[in-house]
Amino acid sequence: MNRFGFGIDALLVTLKGEKLKHKFGAGVLFAQGFAKESGSYNNSRSSYLSYQIFYRNEARIKDRLSWFVEPMFTYSFISKEKLAEPFRLKPYRAGISGGILYRF
């Protein structure tokens, strides 16, 4: 699906840890479709306002370098869609992300 979106991490709290940090957080996301797709789903008319909660494990490799793994849950509490089908799309999803953090 072709979507444009942005999000705000409103809260990120460190629970404990120096070398291995445990954090949890929450944020708000907005996504707007921009491409018309084939079939009965018109993505250009869909928009979603969601909240996201996540738990992050962050391991320090060096003083300025860390690696993290972050499972998350997202729920769209406002979902506007143009769908001509006898079913509804589920407005929630779960996922996992990971990455490298470098502090300048």
- Give residue 5's pLDDT: 62
Q: What percent of the chain stands above pLDDT 90? A: 40
Which of 4-13, 48-57, 87-96 has the highest mean predicted lDDT (pLDDT)?
48-57
- Give residue 68's pLDDT: 95
| pTM across the whole model | 0.71
pLDDT tier for residue 17 given thresholds of 50, 70 and 90 = confident
Q: Which two tokens stand for residue 34?
A: 């921009």
3-state secondary structure 21-64: EEEEEEEEEEEEECCCCCCCECHHHCEEEEEEEEEEEEEECCCC
- Give residue 102's pLDDT: 94
CA-CA distances (angstroms) from residue 33 to 48, 58, 100? 9, 33, 29
Mean pLDDT of 19-41: 80
Residues 6+ apart with CB under 8 A from 88: none
